[in-house]
Structure 1
Amino acid sequence: MTIALGFFFFLTAALYAAVGFGGGSTYNALLVLHGTDYRILPAIALVCNILVVAGGVVRFHLAGQLAFRRLVPFLVTSIPAAWLGGRLPVSETLFVNLLGAALLISGLYLAFERPQEALPETSAPRSAGLTPFMVGGGIGLLSGLVGVGGGIFLAPVLYFMKWGTPQQIAAASSLFILVNSVSGLTGQMMKLQDTDILHLAAPYWILFPLVIAGGQIGSWMASRKLQPQIVKRLTAILLLYVAARLLYDGLSRLLT
């Protein structure tokens, strides 16, 4: 653990809290660059996710923006899938490639997302059939495997489905991140206990109070009308850089 890693975790929590996400993908990226053992990396990132988004979920609920019942079809499949993803053992090569792909998608979304207009009050969400169950299961499995909450993948799907207002989608993404992070972390902890390497995560405990502090500052920044598009573009640069490094490394492993 270095001072620089702690500072960047604090900064990441502040930036992501300001735009409604948890930061799991960037925590993973920072840990990879730090040289953390890939086997404990998802568990650390998921704990940080939980600590950052929990407060946001409460705030969205108190503001009446959390449409829980309509989110249930996504959660029904994502929760068990995230647990299964956390339990599954993966090779370092597969993990690096999956994480690189997740970071690439996250970075592209943040780089090219445009501000969404609110739906008219008379607009109704599209009837989606089995789509929410399939989307929830797929995102949940990936989330558990690589240690992300999945909200950054869910949000564009909800916008495409015209699921709700931007505030409702942000609230849904926060809750999705929270429950999938808890489920994925449960699977990851069970896996680490089975392999007797859970103790390797102990030196990283100092990151947890740092992300709590960063998350609170991020929430305060959001209330001060921080320009979220600027934050997203800056975060995208980091994600795309690390994604390129990881995918290059992963493909090199596959070809050798």
Structure 2
Amino acid sequence: MAALLIAFFITALLYASVGFGGGSTYNALLALSGVDYRILPLIALACNIVVVAGSTVRFGRAGVTPWRGAFTLTAIAAPAAFLGGLTPVGESTFLLLLGGALVLTALTMLLPVRGEGGEPSRLAKFAPFVAAPLGFLAGIVGIGGGIFLAPLLHLVRWNSARAIAATASLFILVNSLFGLAGQILKGGEGRFAAAIEIGLPLLVCVAIAGQIGSLLALKYLPQRWIRWGTAALTAWVGARLLTGM
């Protein structure tokens, strides 16, 4: 458990530093530790909620969240995340989806982040069409989906970098809540109790690390270094998961 706590701490610290929750990496770390794959999403989604809740509130208070656009994307994705959480999948399919999501996540972390200037692309108006598929995938594998949404929004110049980060944070928070509800209904009380037994110390760990990560991002470390470090960690864990199948 000590090694897992350290790994979760580092993951939460890095992901919080770039505005994400880390659900995909939590899942992979638990899978590599031999935890029953059926309770992985329960733990990972709960950790997501703990990490991004604070950043969502901070973005809102700072007045940088584009509420209309963010609510539109989130409202489309959330029901799909709930359905994804309810969807039963076999272990091999779950691990394949998770490993692929991790590798793709690492690649998205290396994409350039848009600055504050410039006009939106004509493709920006089609952003809501990707929300439902991302929400469904998020619900199945126990992630928030913001790690995929944010790079797409940057590519189409949907809004400023801070507004996109705020939108991704809200997207992760709500999708994680809906996905967790679906996972709980699918698994029943037995899996929920098992998830609490394993996940409670991990939740405390990521709550502390998330606050430290936000502080590092604001005052000390360059965003580029943090993104590269997060991408390296994610790629390594994803590759380990896929090669071990």
Residues 10-159 of structure 1 mapped to structure 2, 5 A cutoff: 10-110=9-109, 112-120=110-118, 123-124=119-120, 126=122, 128=124, 131-159=126-154
- Structure 1 residue 169 displacement after superposition: 0.5
Q: Which residue of 2 aligns with 1:183?
A: 178
Q: Would you say the 8 A contact 1:76–1:133 is kept in 2?
A: no
- Structure 1 residue 28 displacement after superposition: 1.2
Which runs of 5 or more structure 2 residues have no equivalent in the other structure? Answer: none
- Structure 1 residue 243 displacement after superposition: 1.9
CA distance in 2, matches of 1:235, 1:101: 16
CA distance in 1, matches of 2:102, 2:213: 21
3-state SS in 1 of match to 2:38: coil
Deviations 1:47-88 (A, max 9, x none): 000000000011111111100101233223210000000011
Root-mean-square deviation (Å): 1.6
- Distance 1:126-1:64 versus aligned 2 partners, 3 A rule: farther
Q: Would you say the 8 A contact 2:105–2:234 is kept in 1?
A: yes
- For these two proteins, the number of residue pairs brought into alignment is 244
Normalised to the residue count of structure 2, the TM-score between the two structures is: 0.94
- Structure 1 residue 249 displacement after superposition: 4.1
Q: Which residue of 2 aligns with 1:254?
A: none
- Structure 1 residue 128 displacement after superposition: 4.7
Amino acid of the residue matched to residue 114 of structure 2?
Q
Q: Would you say the 8 A contact 1:86–1:145 is kept in 2?
A: yes
Q: Would you say the 8 A contact 2:42–2:192 is kept in 1?
A: no
- Structure 1 residue 238 displacement after superposition: 2.3
CA distance in 1, matches of 2:6, 2:241: 22
- 2:191 pairs, out of 194, 197, 204, with 197
Q: Which residue of 2 aligns with 1:224?
A: 219
Q: Would you say the 8 A contact 1:26–1:239 is kept in 2?
A: yes
CA distance in 2, matches of 1:234, 1:160: 22
Which runs of 5 or more structure 1 residues have no equivalent in the other structure? Answer: 251-256
- Structure 1 residue 109 displacement after superposition: 1.3
Normalised to the residue count of structure 1, the TM-score between the two structures is: 0.90
CA distance in 1, matches of 2:69, 2:230: 30
- Mean Cα deviation higher: 151-160 or 237-246: 237-246
- Distance 1:200-1:237 versus aligned 2 partners, 3 A rule: same
Answer with 1 or 2: which has the greater Rg. Answer: 1
CA distance in 1, matches of 2:121, 2:50: 31
Identity over aligned residues, as a percent?
A: 47
3-state SS in 1 of match to 2:41: helix
Residues 241-256 of structure 1 mapped to structure 2, 5 A cutoff: 241-250=236-245
